Amino acid sequence: MKHMSVFEVIGPNMIGPSSSHTAGALRIARVMHKLAPQDIDKVTFILYGSFAKTYKGHGTDKALVAGLLGMDQEDERIKEAFKYASEKGLHYVFETSDSTQYKHPNSVEIVVKDSRGNRLSITGSSVGGGSISIDKVNGMDVFFSGEYYTLFITHDDQPGVVAHITHCLSEHDINIAFMRLYREDKGKHAYTIIEADEPIKEDVIGQMSMNEKIHYVKMINL
């Protein structure tokens, strides 16, 4: 039997009618807000399962836009997220899919493009009580929950890179709760995801980024 915390039963403090369809959706979009470039030109939200059926009535659409703008789940501005997106010049579209290739009924893929045409996508699930899981980045299977201080690192799959990452954390007494490595293929593009017990400061990120085989390091703190 799966044990549930009281927060999964009661749900978080939030604006909106549903912890799964509003707070969870917003948290997924906030992950993209942390990972994406600042000059987003267009975003496409592809909704699956129950998200696709109820996203307007449950406020999932406003929550997703609000999260991408960096709002948190208690922000009163969520109700007017479309207005704030318009003021920022953010172009967004919602699409629904009847595909069954998702891990949870409340799932969304967020695809952003910047002004230079670069593309980034994440797929996430709202798993209950406002909790989420990020299941894919750029089509690659990954996993993190956003419940910890999370580092998302893209790098070449080469010897010494992971050792450099862990050395930087060790030098600053950062305790690793979880660490996962994902790669497209041997010697090619890879992601390392670090979930830590304490905040990770900018100087640690700067030290990591000095390795020429590391492309970028993003801090995700929800």
Task: Give the predicted TM-score (pTM) of the model.
Answer: 0.88
pLDDT tens readout for residues 46-70: 999 999 999 988 899 999 999 999 9
pLDDT tens readout for residues 83-122: 999 999 999 999 999 887 777 789 999 999 998 889 999 9
For residue 163, the model assigns a pLDDT of 97
- Is residue 134 within 8 A of residue 128, CB to CB? The reply is no
Structure tokens at 216: 């970028």
For residue 117, the model assigns a pLDDT of 87
Does residue 45 sit in helix, strand or coil? strand
- Is residue 85 within 8 A of residue 35, CB to CB? The reply is no
| Rounded Cα gap, residues 179 and 188, in angstroms | 19
Structure tokens at 23: 């707070």
**Paired sense of beta strands 106-114 and 40-48, if any:** antiparallel
All domains of the chain, ordered by start, with CATH? 6-144 (3.30.1330.90), 149-220 (3.30.70.260)
